[in-house]
Structure 1
Amino acid sequence: MKIKATLEKIPGGMMVVPLLLAATINTFAPDLLRIGNFTEALFVDGASTLIALFLLFTGAQINLKNVGVSLGKGATLLLTKWVVGAIVGLIAFMFAGDDGLWLGLAPIAIIAAMTNSNGGLYVALVGQYGDKTDRAAYSLLALNDGPFLTMVALAIFGAMGFVDGMFSIVSFISVLLPIVIGMVLGNLDEDMRDFFNQGSSVLIPFFAFALGMGINFESIIEGGLSGIIVGLLTVFVTGTAGYFVFKAMKWNPIAGVAEGSTAGNAVATPAAIAAASSAFAANVELATVQVAASVVTTAILLPIYLGFLVKRLEKKGIRVPDDYVIDK
């Protein structure tokens, strides 16, 4: 059987097929792989560990002379996603009805979903379609985990005051440290760099599967059409914005698209903000299910959209990521 060749024919196949397979299992037979020991540790609970190892391997491929490029890409992606998400959220607030909703969407759900991103999905996608500077950019993208940037947007809107304690510098360092360790090892010893490089691509389908085991298709049903719309906005608005910003910077535009998702931890953001300000309590349940639906929608749709854009570039004679590699 030509399993590898078949997966490679599917846009983002090494990532999206294991993820969808796991999501299907988690939806219809959630306890099938939750049997403890090594099976559960690898296929259910292994995402964080596998991603951390992937980041360490990625860090080893970074030449210190290019570290500024990685930080520049990370900062650009972070700012682009936040600005675009905040603007759409502001529009929703401006045109919201008496019920606090805009076209059935909770503004807080829009901001929470569009300013937050799925780091694991980003790493998986740029692992296949990006270079080492794209992968290392993830160290800065950890800043949009949780409700911190959503809170900043709301504070700017004057919707609520700034709330301390919503972001931990320790959490940020904990994401950055594996990359730094890998970078140190790779720059101290070229053989270590080559050794770690062999393992990077192997990890992608495994942590993609583990990520899928955290997805339940029922979230789309609960969130309804409105939640799917939030997901569509996240993929096509923030993802496309990242594409054109990266293209303007003459960086790999596909890496810019890879940030167009919503992370699972964003589901807790509406409740966290409602706890800080009762002004948002009325729509917190609706916002929560809409964000949950966006998580699932973006996890499925973003790899497909990204694969479509890759094919479009290939028709123009542009190879991704080869034609955009900074340190060839």
Structure 2
Amino acid sequence: MAVPIKARIEKVPGGLMLVPMLVGALVHTTAPGTGEFFGSFTGALFTGLPAILAVFYVCLGATLDVKATPYIAKKGGVLLGTKVVFALLIGVVMGHLLGEAPVSGGAFAGLSTLAVVAALNDTNGGLYMSLMAQFGRKRDVGAYSVMSLESGPFLTMVTLGVAGLSAFPWQTLVGAILPLALGMLLGNLDPEIRRFLAPAVPALVPFLGLSLGLTLNLTAVWKAGLLGVALGLFVVLAGGAALLLADKLSGGDGIAGLAAATTAGNAAVVPSIVAAANPIYAPAAQSATVLIASSVVVTSILCPLITALWARRILRRPLAAQGAEEPIPDGPGSPLTAHDGPGSPLTVDDGPGSPTTVHDGPGSPIAGHGVSRAGSAPTGQHDRE
């Protein structure tokens, strides 16, 4: 008898990442010596997070097409730039107040510059693409091909360094982005390699979550409490306000900006990588991981609701007030997808019976799964190009 394990896991926001991470954290909390006891391949799961991440970023890079249309490049560039600049400003302020160490006591115990910057710097790609397919212009889906460059620890390391905190050797910065760059090179040189590696991206997500969870103690999760919720609210509300403004100033309607105000599940691995690269961040790493995991859940729930409310407000306006767009062809090379071919992680399915969801292979390409419908759509909104 078949048991719908995957379907049930995906009902949890970011479930493919968060559920295995919770399982790993339970094992590590209740039986921390399990890895050493079994050793061999089982033990490798307890210590193999960097290797799994390296493979993940090579496969992810292969899905990114450098031949994005000018509109996609502009939209993705505006959203990516806004997230980076906003995280930098917050990093400068918090770095001046806190430095590298986390808050040691009181209501904000565990909060750190590392936690906030990492939570702001990475977008839940599956959720963004789903919301754009439902509420936004269809070609806005492809903007995530540019925004995907924020994945991984590179931008967080750069932000922390620019913010005046402890910097990282150039070799570490280059090493953090090399797997992604290698994947991009291979995927753009040979479409067959892209189609071969793309399905591995969602398949690796649960292993990332499990390996990360095997480094966490759940007693720290309890301590995160309302602080983790507050971090998620900050990402959605403050980060969303900055992205909304940038989107509108660049000629958009703000829907794409709000849809990007999330924290990706794979952002939870950034603190451990940063701490491994520079031990001065080690005291903040575990609490930062827990806070970011909380932010993933909170933003995954709130972002669709806020985006849906804003979209309904925008879509009630006359078309002339919104700024009509010229139709976009749907043929090969169309900017409706970031790249072509089977297995493309940015393909919009508008076929018969489709709820206009985004399919990104057998799961989400970025930790965090797509959301089918965040709410009922106003009449005619699916016709937006």
Q: Shorter-normalised TM-score: what interval?
A: 0.5 to 0.7
Q: Which residue of 1 aligns with 2:231?
A: 234
2:298 is aligned, of 299, 302, 305, to 305
Question: 2:192 & 2:179 partners in 1: Cα distance?
Answer: 18
Q: How does 1:286-305 map to 2 (within 5 A)?
A: 288=283, 292-299=286-293, 301-305=294-298
Preserved contact between residue 24 and residue 211 of structure 2 (Cα < 8 Å): yes
Q: How does 1:148-159 map to 2 (within 5 A)?
A: 149=159, 153=163
Displacement after TM superposition at 1:232 (Å): 4.2
Q: Which residue of 2 aligns with 1:245?
A: 242
Which is richer in helix? 1
Q: Which residue of 2 aligns with 1:52?
A: 54
**1:245–1:220: structure 2 CA closer, same or farther, 3 Å change rule?**
same
Q: Which residue of 1 aligns with 2:350?
A: none
Question: 1:268 & 1:200 partners in 2: Cα distance?
Answer: 23
Q: Which residue of 2 aligns with 1:126?
A: 125
Q: Which residue of 1 aligns with 2:19?
A: 17
Displacement after TM superposition at 1:206 (Å): 0.9
Q: Which residue of 2 aligns with 1:135?
A: 148
1:190-244: CA deviation from partner (whole Å, max 9, x where unpaired): 11111111211111111111111111122356xx5xx656544433224533333
Question: 1:45 & 1:244 partners in 2: Cα distance?
Answer: 39
1:154-191: CA deviation from partner (whole Å, max 9, x where unpaired): x5xxxxxx87xx32111111121111111111111111
Question: 2:59 & 2:305 partners in 1: Cα distance?
Answer: 30
Question: 2:205 & 2:287 partners in 1: Cα distance?
Answer: 24
**1:46–1:80: structure 2 CA closer, same or farther, 3 Å change rule?**
same
Is 2:198 the counterpart of 1:197?
yes
Preserved contact between residue 74 and residue 137 of structure 1 (Cα < 8 Å): yes
Q: Which residue of 2 aligns with 1:258?
A: 263
Preserved contact between residue 55 and residue 135 of structure 1 (Cα < 8 Å): no
One-letter identity of the residue aligned with 1:80: F
Is 2:193 the counterpart of 1:181?
no
Displacement after TM superposition at 1:255 (Å): 4.1
Q: Which ranges of structure 2 fall in alignment gaps of 5 or more residues? A: 130-143, 312-334, 339-346, 348-385
SS at structure 1 position matched to 2:34: coil
**1:240–1:52: structure 2 CA closer, same or farther, 3 Å change rule?**
farther
Preserved contact between residue 21 and residue 209 of structure 1 (Cα < 8 Å): yes
TM-score normalized by the length of structure 2: 0.59
**1:303–1:173: structure 2 CA closer, same or farther, 3 Å change rule?**
same
Q: How does 1:37-48 map to 2 (within 5 A)?
A: 37-41=40-44, 43-48=45-50
Preserved contact between residue 261 and residue 303 of structure 2 (Cα < 8 Å): no
**1:88–1:237: structure 2 CA closer, same or farther, 3 Å change rule?**
farther
Displacement after TM superposition at 1:49 (Å): 1.8
Is 2:141 the counterpart of 1:144?
no
TM-score normalized by the length of structure 1: 0.68
Question: 2:21 & 2:169 partners in 1: Cα distance?
Answer: 29
Preserved contact between residue 71 and residue 137 of structure 1 (Cα < 8 Å): no
**1:101–1:31: structure 2 CA closer, same or farther, 3 Å change rule?**
closer
Question: 2:126 & 2:193 partners in 1: Cα distance?
Answer: 19
Deviates further, 70-79 or 31-40 = 70-79
Question: 1:22 & 1:101 partners in 2: Cα distance?
Answer: 26
One-letter identity of the residue aligned with 1:293: S
One-letter identity of the residue aligned with 1:242: G
Question: 1:205 & 1:16 partners in 2: Cα distance?
Answer: 8
Q: Which residue of 2 aligns with 1:84?
A: 90
Question: 1:188 & 1:270 partners in 2: Cα distance?
Answer: 34
**1:118–1:216: structure 2 CA closer, same or farther, 3 Å change rule?**
farther
Preserved contact between residue 59 and residue 183 of structure 1 (Cα < 8 Å): yes
Deviates further, 308-317 or 176-185 = 308-317
**1:242–1:272: structure 2 CA closer, same or farther, 3 Å change rule?**
same
Question: 2:236 & 2:303 partners in 1: Cα distance?
Answer: 13
Preserved contact between residue 61 and residue 183 of structure 2 (Cα < 8 Å): yes
Q: Which residue of 1 aligns with 2:169?
A: 168
